[in-house]
């Protein structure tokens, strides 16, 4: 007979399951909604994704780039500096994923919805 799970272990298991449901449901449904909307808006993109598996994968990446999810907050464990800004220990820091996915330093025509950028060497 298996040993009984102690109550704090049971609590950890329950909250880990809650984490997985919270992290895994809204992210997937929102991404699918954007995917359907953007594919519906672009019939040529949709037709190419139906015909080519590689292009369908590029479409998924472009949906996640164009409509990126929020990143998790971080807390600094010691004093730090980013881009010349002092960040004291204990600060909560959010990385701006939209800026990362749309910065002109990293992307050609960042506001254009172009799945084919993922099939080229320079995106």
* Minimal distance, residue 69 CB to ligand HEM, in Å: 4
Confirm if 114 and 100 have CB atoms less than 8 A apart.
no
User: Which residues touch 67 (CB under 8 Å, ≥6 apart)?
Assistant: 30, 31, 34, 38
What distance in Å separates the CA atoms of residue 46 and residue 101, rounded to the nearest whole number?
22
If the CB atoms of residues 28 and 108 are measured against ligand HEM, the closer one turns out to be: 28
In the complex, residue closest to ligand HEM by CB = 24
Binding footprint of ligand HEM on the chain (CB under 6 A): 19-20, 23-24, 27-28, 31, 69, 71-72
Residue 64 vs 119, nearer CB to ligand HEM: 64
Q: Which one, 69 or 90, has the nearer CB to ligand HEM? A: 69
**How near is the Cβ of 48 to ligand HEM at its closest, in Å?**
21
**SS (HEC) of 29-46:** HHHHHHHHHHHHHCHHHH
């Amino acid at each position: 007979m298996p040993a009984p799970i102690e109550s704090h272990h049971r609590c950890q298991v329950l909250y880990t399951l809650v984490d997985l449901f919270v992290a895994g449901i809204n992210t997937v449904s929102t991404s699918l909604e954007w995917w359907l909307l953007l594919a519906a808006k672009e019939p040529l993109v949709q037709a190419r994704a139906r015909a080519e598996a590689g292009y369908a994968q590029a479409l998924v990446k472009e949906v996640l780039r164009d409509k990126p999810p929020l990143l998790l907050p971080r807390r600094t464990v010691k004093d730090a500096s980013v881009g010349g800004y002092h960040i004291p220990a204990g600060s909560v820091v959010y990385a701006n994923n939209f800026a990362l996915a749309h910065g002109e330093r990293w992307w050609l025509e960042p506001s254009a919805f172009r799945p084919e950028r993922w099939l080229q060497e320079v995106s």
